[in-house]
Structure 1
Amino acid sequence: MNEQVVVKLNHYWTDIYFYLHYPHEDKITHQAVRILQLIEKKQYVGVHEVASYLHISHNTASEHVKRLLEKKYIIKEKNPEDQRKVIICLSESGKNVLHRNTSLDENKLKTVLDQLSDQEKVIVEKALELLSQGAKKCMF
């Protein structure tokens, strides 16, 4: 792919997020948000997966997880496939914090989409769907 197209797409993405994200109200680190995203996107996450994903030591990952547990953003549960293992899951509070820190403000997005024709909305939806599908193949 043409390097200029990649640069343009990245620029468009940062514009979209900058102008349409929710106001940041939560005191949460970037790494904590990334951990919450990992838990949301991948099934059966434990401390080992957090360490591997963030390229940090097991002890450091454990400390991050401990802080998220204290804030009640995550909960621990038994792995349904192996009761000896513990997995980390998002709490309702964690889901809300993650949404506010990674998603677009749905009211702002609706305002923008309402300015597009039906055909343009279909094009935008299809383009983002294709990018999402491609991204999922690269993630893990």
Structure 2
Amino acid sequence: MDKPSSQRINQYWTDIYYHLHYRHTEQISHQAIRLLQHLDFQGKATVGELADFLSVGHNTASEHIKRLIEKGWLKKLRSAEDERRVFVEITASGKGVLQYNTQLNEEKLATILARLTEEEAATIGYALSILSREAQACSQF
């Protein structure tokens, strides 16, 4: 893809998120969002794996995780196979906070889609499904 096309897509993405995001009510850091997203996609991870994911030390990751556990957004569980291994997992409350801080406002989005023709709405859905599929394939590398 040529650079101007990627820049246009990035600008569209930024515009869409700016106008359609939920109003944020929680005080949440970018690192916390990244941890919640990673755990939402991966299911569970050890503190060491999360430290690697964030590119921070074990102690720093532990502090982030501790704060999110205190808020009820994460929980720790011991491995059934090896009780020395401890995993971190996102809670239902954490999933709600993540959704509210990363997804588009469903009501605003539904209003927009209702104003479009069926063909326009289908085209948008199809284009985003392709972009999602390719983004997932890209993260495999």
Whether the TM-score (by the shorter chain) exceeds 0.5 is yes
Tell me, yes or no, if structure 1 residue 87 matches structure 2 residue 87. yes
Q: Tell me, in whole angstroms, the C-alpha distance in 2 between the residues paired with 1:137 and 1:46.
A: 24
**Does the 8 A contact of 2:43 with 2:90 survive in 1?**
no
Deviations 1:36-90 (A, max 9, x none): 001001133121121111111111111101111111111112346x443222111
Letter paired with 1:106: E
**How far 1:30 sits from its partner (Å)?**
1.0
1:56 partnered with 2:41: no
SS of match in other structure, 1:94: helix
**Which residue type is aligned with residue 3 of structure 2?**
E
Aligned residue number for residue 76 of structure 1: 76
Q: Which runs of 5+ in 2 are unaligned?
A: none
Residue type matched to 2:40 in 1? E
Q: How many residue pairs were aligned?
A: 139
Q: Decide whether the 8 Å contact of 1:44 with 1:79 is kept in 2.
A: no
Q: 1:21: which partner in 2?
A: 21
Q: Deviations over 1:82-113 (max 9, x none)?
A: 44322211112111110110000100100111
Correspondences of 1:105-124 after superposition (within 5 Å): 105-124=105-124
Q: Name the amino acid aligned to 2:104.
A: L
Structure 1, unaligned runs of 5 or more? none
Give the root-mean-square deviation of aligned CA atoms.
Answer: 1.3
**For the Cα contact (< 8 Å) 2:47–2:61, is it kept in 1?**
yes
Does 126-135 or 7-16 show the bigger shift? 126-135
Q: 1:65 to 1:2 in 2, by over 3 A?
A: same
Tell me the distance in 2 between the aligned counterparts of 1:11 and 1:119. Answer: 23
User: Does the Cα contact within 8 Å between 2:74 and 2:91 map onto a contact in 1?
Assistant: yes
* Secondary structure of residue in 1 paired with 2:45: coil
Distance in 2 of aligned mates of 1:95 and 1:68: 12
